[in-house]
Amino acid sequence: MTGALADRVRDAVAGVTDPELRRPLGELDMLRDVAVRDGVAEVGIALTIVGCPAADRIERDVRDAAASVSGIHAVDVRVGVMSPDERKALTEKLRGGRAKREMPFGPDSLTRVIAVTSGKGGVGKSTVTANLAVALAARGLRVGLVDADVHGFSIPGLLGLVDADGLPPAPTRLDDLILPPVAYGVKVISIGMFLRRPGEDAAGAVAWRGPMLHRTVQQFLTDVFFGDLDLLLLDMPPGTGDVAISVGQLLPHADVLVVTTPQAAAAEVAVRSGLVARQTGQRPIGVIENMAAMTLADGTVLDLFGAGGGDEVARALSTDETTVPLLASVPLSPALRSGGDDGRPVVLSQPDDPAARAIDAAAAALAIRPRGLAGKPLRLSV
């Protein structure tokens, strides 16, 4: 009877998910001895590293899982740490047979990669990208987000991945793998997470040229363990500079989503970012117009930045063979702005806001267009 009860406890605890790796403890070989004595479950677990930031949550979830088994009246959780050999075996398992420094988002990957671009800064591209990622994750998709705007990183703040001082958390390192923090179901990486210095109240600035920028983007794509993703979004810097060229070289198969404002001057520059992406082999798949006309409380319409820019960009990027649609026109919204300041995406905090509804509509359009399997090798295991 006691052995059967211990087996039920083990099964329950084995199903607890590591919040960073997003896999069950049993699959990660983090579960140790399990015994039951007089209704008390004794459960041993091994964390990946000393000082694991998810330690408290894992211990709590393990305790709750064990306590949920009928016949268990108390739970004693014993926490240890993996040995170097165990950690090495885990990293090899997570790589799934891939060599170190091998980029998992190549042409044969089933992850759809979408680079979100804009011609100029100040059009709200990062705000749109953050909310779009959260909206996609809320639809049950596995989503990763790379803050590729190295000089002007803002994604951690927009997603609330900051402490009381406004600084992003340092990612957990598992040997040579980097585990991205998770916000609202989205796995996130940003250079801002690596710039914190003790005693400073702000993340450091980045003053890098081409080679360093290329290496940073490459490391984000190779050294960060995102796991199995349905979608990987890249928040690109404005313009067509070094990072855009690097992403074009590293991810020539990526789709491109162009963000603009209705203003003619912004639309004209936004078209260039889409055209440069197409030159590298990437495919423009849609346009999102941000800061569009806002309907005021008295019914009047405020078109602060004019009208028609999104339609113009979509028209200019369309070809005889492919139509690039305007996926959404996102109106000016105080809620969208305040949500970004507070780190609470408007698509979750105020889903009925007109801006939230527009972004969610764009997410719905993207969610129904997974990458096809035609011509791609499938990895089979026996």
* pLDDT tens figures, 114-143: 999 998 888 999 999 999 999 999 999 999
- How confident is the prediction for the chain on average, in pLDDT? 87
Residue 2: its pLDDT value, please? 64
User: What CATH number is attached to the domain comprising 208?
Assistant: 3.40.50.300
CB atoms near residue 75 (< 10 Å)? 20
The total of structural domains in the chain comes to 2
| Structural domain for 130, as ranges | 112-367
Residue 330: its pLDDT value, please? 96
Name the CA radius of gyration of the chain, rounded.
23
Residue 374: its pLDDT value, please? 44
The answer to whether residues 31 and 141 belong to one domain is: no
Residue 196: its pLDDT value, please? 62
What single-letter amino acid sits at 311?
D
264 exposure class (CB count in 10 Å sphere: 0-12, 13-18, 19+): middle
The answer to whether residues 69 and 154 belong to one domain is: no
Lowest mean pLDDT among 101-105, 259-263, 271-275: 101-105
**Residue 380 in this model has a pLDDT that exceeds 50:** no
Lowest mean pLDDT among 136-140, 291-295, 302-306, 345-349: 302-306
Lowest mean pLDDT among 94-98, 273-277, 359-363: 94-98
The answer to whether residues 281 and 316 belong to one domain is: yes
The answer to whether residues 167 and 207 belong to one domain is: yes
The answer to whether residues 18 and 135 belong to one domain is: no
CB atoms near residue 357 (< 10 Å)? 16
Residue 180: its pLDDT value, please? 92
The answer to whether residues 86 and 184 belong to one domain is: no
The answer to whether residues 180 and 318 belong to one domain is: yes
The answer to whether residues 232 and 83 belong to one domain is: no
**Residue 113 in this model has a pLDDT that exceeds 90:** yes
**Residue 73 in this model has a pLDDT that exceeds 60:** yes
Residue 293 · residue 301 · CB < 8 Å: yes
The answer to whether residues 75 and 128 belong to one domain is: no
Residue 292 · residue 318 · CB < 8 Å: no
User: What CATH number is attached to the domain comprising 13?
Assistant: 3.30.300.130
Write down which residue in 43, 65, 95 finishes a domain: 95
**Residue 353 in this model has a pLDDT that exceeds 90:** yes
**Residue 235 in this model has a pLDDT that exceeds 50:** yes
9 exposure class (CB count in 10 Å sphere: 0-12, 13-18, 19+): buried
CB atoms near residue 354 (< 10 Å)? 19
